[in-house]
Structure 1
Amino acid sequence: MNRHATTPSHAAKQDAADAREFDDFARGQDPVLLEAALWATRRSEAMDAATEAQFQAWLGAAPEHATAYDQMAHSTTPAQALPPARIQALRNSLPRRSAPAQRDRPKERSGWLAGLAPFFPQAATAMAAVALVAGGWLGWNHYAGQPTFEKHYATERGQRLDIALPDGSTLQLDAATQADVRLYRDRREVRLAEGQAMFAVQADTAQPFSVFAGPIRVTVVGTRFSVRHTQAGMDAGHTVVAVESGRVRVAPAAPGAQQAQIELTAGQRVTADAAAQLQPVTRFAPASVASWRQGRISFNDTPLREALAELERYGDTRLVLSDPAVGALRLGGSVDLRQLATFTQALPSLLPVRLEPRNGKIEIVARR
């Protein structure tokens, strides 16, 4: 006897295993979706006229067939494009995963499946099963990628806003600040478009908290820190991160960026330029972080033009500059934002300048 003529080949054994696997999987599926997956898989290959006619007849038999086919056609293409390792992993999961049935589940292989068997090679049925699983997998990825909470916050000049987020974290927005908050199932994100904010993050290792500001990404689990990113005033065009308690990681936001990342602890501050280059870390008293929360702004050897631009975030000072040399004069000290008029009156005693009223404004000029 010719042993090779009677011993099943490896391919035949694999086909038989695939058939059993597919039968087990089919019992737990919505029949219409399964038929649609079979047709979508079969039509991705060449079909003869008889098979095409069979497909058209099935498609026109019920309105739900066209809807199911469109859904499965969009699942089959990415499923076939998956790498072999991913396809095998999905096939291995078939006995454990099943889509919710929309009608009674058949206990045995249903008549429609047996009737369609001649139109579907075993490879097509195996890939159809993978497409069903991949469709659910891709659908889950899409589902997981949708935020569970999303809101835009904005403050005007002189306004501050306290925000309690659903995760237990809090934000305090300074004047003239815009921020977008999105909470996802696996992460939390805030995009600070302009202004500055103080963050108190509820610790959750399963959902890291990230703040995107300019070219910088600040990532934490639980801590208190401030982020500033403005186009006017102090540190204009830069991003400043200061930590009150805990730890944060500061890194370029762009994927694949080569710049170094650093970790800050309480009492440390770092500034990044528009190219995400980090300047040397500096130290400060943690209690002084985000002093604007107490209604004060501190200047430390700050050019007068920057100090005035900063104060304009909180109110109309009526102060103007036209002499660059005067604008370059350095200013120090703390200003009460509720007493801007007092600051104006004190300027001539702080710097070699005088005040001249002009057209409803007050021009700061050099003292003669």
Structure 2
Amino acid sequence: MPSCQPPSVLSDDALDWQVLLHAGNATAADRARYQRWCQLSPAHAEAAAEAEALWRDLGHTPSAQARPAPPRLRRRLSAIAASLVLCMAGYAGWQQVPFWQADYHTAVGQRQSLTLADGSRVTLNSASALSVVFSEHERKVTLEAGEALFETVADPRPFVVQAAGAPVTGNAAVFSVRRQPGGDQVLLAEGQAQVAGQALQPAPDAATRTAWQRGKLIFNGKPLGQVLAELERYQHGRIVIPDHQLAALEVSGVFDLDDPHALLRTLEQRYGLKVTYLPFLAVVY
């Protein structure tokens, strides 16, 4: 069945699909919808093939390393980035709900250290929120969003951290809790802590994994895709890497969180990467 849409509209739609599918949060349903879209007509299939080729050209070929993103794709990404400004503004407002209700919170890229009434210290990571409720029987804090490092003091009352999953308890211990889509990530550095009654073992690389409290990100042979996903937590906007092979590139180094953009510049220089910067969007290839 021929398409009734002009080729330019189909091309734009096809590029929209590529951005969605490679932005890092596409679902199986999204991919199924894309396949159905491709099968609507031969013109749809042709536009999809062209968009996929343009996207691959951002990093799969040696010649792509020596030149900027194709002008057509760059123009389309610019338009998408402009719409992202509005979308992210709305999303940020919705995301701020737990922050408004929390006792303590940090903005994107900000860290904050505080001392609780019992003398325990808490360091909040980027875009994090914490509520505190102490009683005569329990010291309870709720991690509403983000990540926090807890340095708890000895006290007859248990120190309980509630996030998305099972509560974490730790007395005279140093541990971090991070809320993330796949479930809470709990890391014990010193002392004793439990999750759902199960004792945690101290992580041998705890100092490296909690280096963010000192304003550093440390990576030792981590895939570039994971490094960029971690960096994304400390700045506004998205970082997209369309080349899956490039995303597996192992990266090592110590980077300064107080200048997250320097991390991308360092990666460009050290690993020969190219980055196209747009409002609220960076494409690495």
TM range (shorter): 0.5 to 0.7
Q: 1:230 offset after TM fit, Å? A: 2.5
Q: Distance in 1 between matches of 2:250 and 2:183?
A: 20
Distance 1:156 1:339, change over 3 A: closer
Q: Kindly report which structure 2 residues correspond to 1:348-359, keeping only aligned pairs within 5 A, or say none.
A: 348-351=268-271, 353-357=273-277
Contact 1:209 1:221 in 2 (8 A): yes
Q: 1:362 offset after TM fit, Å? A: 4.3
- Establish whether residue 340 from structure 1 lines up as the match of residue 260 from structure 2: yes
Q: Where does structure 2 lack aligned partners over 5 or more consecutive residues?
A: 1-100
Q: 1:335 offset after TM fit, Å? A: 1.3
Q: 1:322 offset after TM fit, Å? A: 3.1
1:208 maps to amino acid:
P
Q: Which has the higher contact order (CA 8 A, sep 6+)?
A: 2
Q: Kindly report which structure 2 residues correspond to 1:1-368, keeping only aligned pairs within 5 A, or say none.
A: 152-205=103-156, 207-231=157-181, 237-251=182-196, 261-264=197-200, 268-269=202-203, 283-284=204-205, 287-288=207-208, 290-316=210-236, 319-351=239-271, 353-357=273-277, 362-365=282-285
Q: 1:294 offset after TM fit, Å? A: 1.0
Contact 1:197 1:226 in 2 (8 A): yes
Q: Distance in 2 between matches of 1:213 and 1:297?
A: 23
Q: 1:351 offset after TM fit, Å? A: 3.6
Q: Distance in 1 between matches of 2:207 and 2:189?
A: 7
Q: What is the SS of the residue equivalent to 2:103? A: strand
The alignment's TM-score, normalised by the length of structure 2, stands at 0.56
Q: Distance in 2 between matches of 1:166 and 1:262?
A: 27
Contact 2:237 2:280 in 1 (8 A): no
2:142 maps to amino acid:
R
Contact 1:226 1:289 in 2 (8 A): no
Distance 1:158 1:358, change over 3 A: closer
1:337 maps to amino acid:
L
Q: What is the match of residue 60 of structure 1?
A: none
Q: Distance in 1 between matches of 2:232 and 2:276?
A: 19
Q: C-alpha root-mean-square deviation of aligned residues, in Å?
A: 2.8
What does the per-residue CA deviation read over 1:301-360, in whole Å, with 9 as the maximum and x for residues that have no partner? Answer: 433233223212222487533334433433232211123333222223444633345678
Distance 1:152 1:331, change over 3 A: same
Distance 1:186 1:359, change over 3 A: closer
2:185 maps to amino acid:
V
What does the per-residue CA deviation read over 1:183-213, in whole Å, with 9 as the maximum and x for residues that have no partner? Answer: 12111111213211111212112x1111122
Q: In percent, how many aligned pairs have the same letter?
A: 32
Q: Distance in 2 between matches of 1:305 and 1:248?
A: 31
Contact 2:239 2:282 in 1 (8 A): yes
Q: Distance in 2 between matches of 1:182 and 1:361?
A: 39
Contact 1:243 1:289 in 2 (8 A): no
Q: 1:182 offset after TM fit, Å? A: 1.1
Greater Rg by CA:
1
Q: 1:162 offset after TM fit, Å? A: 1.7
Q: 1:291 offset after TM fit, Å? A: 0.8
Q: Distance in 1 between matches of 2:232 and 2:118?
A: 34
Q: What is the SS of the residue equivalent to 2:212? A: helix
The alignment's TM-score, normalised by the length of structure 1, stands at 0.45
2:250 maps to amino acid:
R
Distance 1:360 1:214, change over 3 A: closer
Q: Where does structure 1 lack aligned partners over 5 or more consecutive residues?
A: 1-149, 232-236, 252-260, 270-282
Distance 1:288 1:299, change over 3 A: closer
2:200 maps to amino acid:
L
1:175 maps to amino acid:
S
What does the per-residue CA deviation read over 1:100-138, in whole Å, with 9 as the maximum and x for residues that have no partner? Answer: xxxxxxxxxxxxxxxxxxxxxxxxxxxxxxxxxxxxxxx
Aligned residues: 185
